[in-house]
Structure 1
């Protein structure tokens, strides 16, 4: 068990001012978050985020700038580690070949790990729609930057 869990996420905003979000189900818990995930041993933040977008979205991204890093204590919802999350603005450099959903938790198939993607207008973002405290903080910052 590691005391720190470093996570990296991408904020991908399209030409219609919509942001890509991920609805997921894992360990019997449903949650909405931004695309990204845990850093692997020996991996840098940028490389980790690029890997996560390839794994989750089958797309390559370019990091445009840093948006936010966790600045308060967050305990993992899944274990006893402390979460440190880093968020970057990104743009895709290869097309997103995903099935985009409009309803929350509209998963295809069944299984222990499920994921679906949605575009949400920046003006429609709400903190209450996100589960994790750091994502809620990022939503607040995004709303305040409009």
Structure 2
């Protein structure tokens, strides 16, 4: 049986021209990606993305537009499923109140647990594809920069 894993992510930029990224550590693997996560059964993409931002960031968002959908085969880094990722440009509807880190993978004040996640803002002009771990994020970021006016 072939499994598909549908993921949905938000590219959130600020008025100061910064983009929100997530540094995570799970199963002893560290990675940097855009905020978001897995679609749950019975959920729509927009609903899932709003839920993920509320769960991860305690942040209400508005989904502005579709940015990119995976158009190549991508195997999960964690299991045998095929990843299908959908990216949207989003904006914050409520003030950002969660902890923002300055350095990558700054888990110094986090309670040590199986999965850890911290957030940081990076100037749009400074975030490169090399800063992102997964190929889908790299392609989405390139597409975002080529097609979106900030």
Is TM > 0.5 for Structure 1 vs Structure 2?
yes
Equivalent in the alignment of 1:92? 92
Report Cα offsets for 1:63-98 as digits up to 9, x if no partner. Answer: 011111001110000000000000011111111111
1:142 is aligned to 2:144: yes
Q: TM-score, normalised by structure 1?
A: 0.95
Unaligned runs of 5+ in 1: none
Equivalent in the alignment of 1:48? 48
1:127 is aligned to 2:129: yes
Unaligned runs of 5+ in 2: none
Report Cα offsets for 1:45-73 as digits up to 9, x if no partner. Answer: 00000000000000111101111100111
Q: Is the 8 A contact 1:9 1:49 kept in 2?
A: yes
Q: Where has structure 1 moved over 4 Å in runs of 4 or more?
A: none
Aligned residues: 146
CA RMSD for the aligned pairs?
Answer: 1.3
Q: TM-score, normalised by structure 2?
A: 0.93
